[in-house]
Structure 1
Amino acid sequence: MKRILLSVWAGLFVLQASNNSWAANACEVVGADTAQENHCSPVSAQSVLDLSNEQIDNLDIKLAALEKADEIPLLTASARVIVPPENEQIVSTTVAGMVSRIHVADGDAVQQGQVLAQLNSPELLALQRDYLKRASEAQLAEAVYRRDRKLQKEGIIPQSRWEETLSRFNVAKAKAQEAKQMLLITGMTETEAGQLLASRRLNSLLEISAPIGGTILQRSASVGERLTANTPLFRIANLEQLWLELSVAQDRIDVLTVGDKVKVAGTEAIAEIVLLGRHVDKQTQSVLARAVLAGPQAELRPGQTVNALAIKRIETAAFKLPQSALVQSEGRDYVFVRTGQGFEVKPAEVIGRHEDAVFIVGELDGSETVAVRGAAALKALWLESGSAE
């Protein structure tokens, strides 16, 4: 075996000497300028390595087919799943009182308008009483208004009295509207306010309803608890749409562009980047990148921290190879494509890298088989043979 290898290497050195001599003589004969025009340069000389199957086996060359790629990984980053602000609401009590009933728990799905809890509130009684009083005063002022309008038309009362009556009526009506609005702010509906006005029966029980349909993310009160006005009771969110907030190192944010896609590790979720932040967090030195997830997500939950992979879709023919398949010469990248006689050296342009993989484009159609191990040995033979000198 050693004799065979020595014979192979000896043959290659003879080939190198012959090629070097021919190349040097050719470039000397035509001159420097003509040599440049005729590509007597390292990267444009003969790009074929003639090797037998036995020689390839002895060099421990491993081959693999080109793997087509339609996307390029850009970077990985930690991301947090959040609910868009317009899809999340805090449900609070607008009056002081004691919680008498709670009808839902964390994680429950609720419909818009569904009763979540009941509150027993003396303050609500005061608001109802004020509304009934203001409504009665407005009714009385309206009666006087109608009477004086008729008298004014008949010329029985002066214009000044009519204007005073009209002013008092407008003030009374405004106060009644204000008292009604205060009740509506507490959570009473128009129907309930109308029933109160018709029955004139006060009720200290206030029903707290869901302002939107969604899921209860947090319950903050318990039955029997006394609350002040504006105390949060529930946090409710519509989970049909979720966002990802990626923390990207500030020196890597320029890799991303709006429209790039984001994959979430361990799931089928796909998101699209819609915003690249302009602010650097002073503690983490990271920049926010926001991505919108496509459709409802059963595998992701608000508050969850995930590993995200940003990718760029590509339309040109590109291929994925292990880093070991690529060699460099004079600043250019090459791959060794298997042929019937050995290998053809083809230039490649690297358009992306991720971990130990490279993504390339070049004069390749995807049907080729390339050397993915032993490329360094092939490069040495290529250089020694004079093809790259």
Structure 2
Amino acid sequence: MTTRRPLRFACATALLLLAACGSGADEPAAPQAAASPALAIETATAAAATGLPLARVPGQVTLPPDARVAVTAPFPGAAVRVFVIEGQAVARGTPLALVRAAEPVTIGADIARARAEVGLAEARASRLNQLAEEGIIARARADEAAAALTQARATLNEAQRMASMAGSGPDGMMTLRAPIAGRVAHVAVETGGGVDGMTAPFVIEATGRYQLDLQIPARLAAQVRPGMAVEVEVPTVEGAEPLVVGGQILSVTPSLDPQTRSVMAKASVGAAPGLVAGQNLTVSITGNGDGTGVAVPSRAVTRIEGADHVFVRSGADFTPRPVTVLANSGGTAVISQGLQAGEVVATSSIAELKAAAAE
């Protein structure tokens, strides 16, 4: 199911207290030594949050194994017209190409001959059966005629089946159609080009659902199980809330990848605008989420040397501290490690604090 909403976290009723720490405040708000004494720094108190997701892990969007369908021609021929291009959305039954083949014409002649043979066999079987009933000939001859009629009918049925499979007209024209609704992922034929019965000129990808390849850290491998719920935020237009799509864990590999030091897992997820195969996203494992952490305004979190940090008030100074950010949406960052409820963090003048900490 696809809904437009931010990730949900059951935070404690404590509000994020935003206060300007300047002159007259009970607690000093000057950053570490290099900050200007006149610098006013806004702060927030970390509030407890419960019911957090189990983890946020990297994932790549892929297609399920059964989502790709090859469209082949029943007989070799030449493409008279090609109606679609790569990337085009198609409905089931949409014409893909018009192909002319010589074999359907031959099959048409075979059908005519098979019909004539059936008529002849029916007449002979009827005549011999009557003679056998009158005792003029042996019953074995009538039985042989009946068997020949059955064989002639089988030949006719086979020829008709081949003609039906080709879907061609008397001139050998065949229309290749999309067997499923989706997107044209591959076109391997051009107008005037040859089409054989062994190579697929078209590949259609179903776009109704996707699969996620997840990397689970070794420390969480034992906690992630098939059936757990997942959520993925799909980027939308700038300034709009991300689109959240739900799914569930399908499988978890039993062994650790020696290169990534992680366990691979697969999850299914529904389709959504902006979700395409090959896309790299962050996935929240929300099933059985019962973790605890703290919530602070998103602007309190900054990157220092490739890691998330917050500036925590310590006496008269602000000290940078590494933290683990579990989620960051809707203006609130949820931190699972590195910060305790009740601690005060800076929410403004972050650039100045970083400069002071670097000196």
TM-score (norm 1): 0.59
Q: Which sits farther off after the overlay, 241-250 or 211-220?
A: 241-250
Correspondence for 2:193 among 184, 209, 225: 225
Question: What residue is the counterpart of 1:71 in the other structure?
Answer: 52
Task: Give how far 1:74 is off.
Answer: 1.1
- Structure 1 Cα separation of the partners of residues 291 and 217 of structure 2: 30
Are residues 215 and 321 of structure 1, via their aligned partners in 2, closer, same or farther at CA, if it must alter by over 3 Å? Answer: closer
* Conserved? CA contact 2:72–2:202, under 8 Å: yes
Provide the C-alpha distance between the structure 2 equivalents of 1:187 and 1:246, rounded to a whole number of angstroms: 44
User: Which residue in the other structure is 1:357 paired with?
Assistant: 335
In structure 2, distance between residues paired with 1:115 and 1:209: 4
CA RMSD of aligned residues (A): 3.6
> Counterpart of 2:273 in 1: which secondary structure?
coil
> Aligned partners of 1:157 and 1:56: how far apart in 2?
124
Give the structure 2 partner of residue 370 of structure 1. 342
Give the number of the structure whose residues are more often helix, by fraction.
1
Q: Pick the aligned partner of 2:266 from 265, 275, 290.
A: 290
SS at match of 2:74: coil
1:279 offset after TM fit, Å?
A: 6.3
From 24, 27, 33, the equivalent of 1:57 is: 27
Identity within the alignment, %: 20
Given that 1:321 and 1:359 are in contact with CA atoms closer than 8 Å, whether structure 2 keeps it comes out as: no
Whole-angstrom CA distance in 1 between matches of 2:113 and 2:275: 53
Q: Is the 8 A contact 2:54 2:288 kept in 1?
A: no
Contact 1:98 1:225 in 2 (8 A): yes
Most deviating of 101-110 and 275-284: 275-284
- Could you tell me whether the CA contact under 8 Å between 2:80 and 2:100 is conserved in 1? yes
Superposition deviation, residue 227 in structure 1:
2.4
Q: For residue 115 of structure 1, report the CA deviation from its aligned partner.
A: 2.2
Moved more, 264-273 or 111-120: 264-273
- Select 2:203's aligned residue among 230, 235, 238: 235
Deviation, 1:313, is 4.3
Partner of residue 15, structure 2: none
Aligned residues: 270
> Partners in 1 of 2:252 and 2:262 — Cα distance?
11
What's the TM-score once normalised by structure 2's chain length?
A: 0.63
Q: Does 1:204 align with 2:172?
A: yes
Give the whole-Å Cα distance in 2 for the aligned partners of 1:137 and 1:283: 69
Stretches of structure 2 lacking an aligned partner (at least 5 in a row): 1-23, 32-42, 236-241, 297-323, 328-333, 347-359
Task: State the match for 1:300 in structure 2.
Answer: 275
The letter for the 2-side match of 1:72 is: P
**For residue 182 of structure 1, what is the aligned residue in structure 2?**
162
The residue that corresponds to 1:135 in the other structure is 115
Which of 230, 234, 242 is 1:261 aligned to?
Answer: 230
Give me the whole-angstrom Cα distance separating, in 2, the residues matched to 1:135 and 1:283: 67
Corresponding residue of 1:98: 78
In structure 1, the residue matched to 2:7 is: none
Q: Deviations over 1:94-151 (max 9, x none)?
A: 2111111112222333332232211111122223322332232223222322333333
Match of 1:276 among 237, 242, 252: 252
2:282 is paired with a residue of what secondary structure?
strand
1:148 corresponds to 2:128: yes
1:185 positional shift: 3.3
Question: Contact 1:72–1:359 (CA<8 Å) still a contact in 2?
Answer: no
- Equivalent residues of 2:57, 2:214 under 8 A apart: no
1:25-40 paired onto structure 2 within 5 Å: none
For structure 1, list consecutive stretches of 5 or more residues without a partner in the other structure.
1-53, 193-201, 323-351, 361-367, 375-389
- Alignment partners' CA distance in 1, 2:289 and 2:219: 27
Call closer, same or farther: CA 1:315–1:224 in 2, change over 3 Å: closer
Contact 2:52–2:293 (CA<8 Å) still a contact in 1? no
**d(CA) in 2 for partners of 1:236 and 1:141?**
46
Q: Evaluate the alpha carbon distance shift between residue 317 and residue 255 of structure 1 in structure 2; reply closer, same or farther with a 3 A threshold.
A: closer
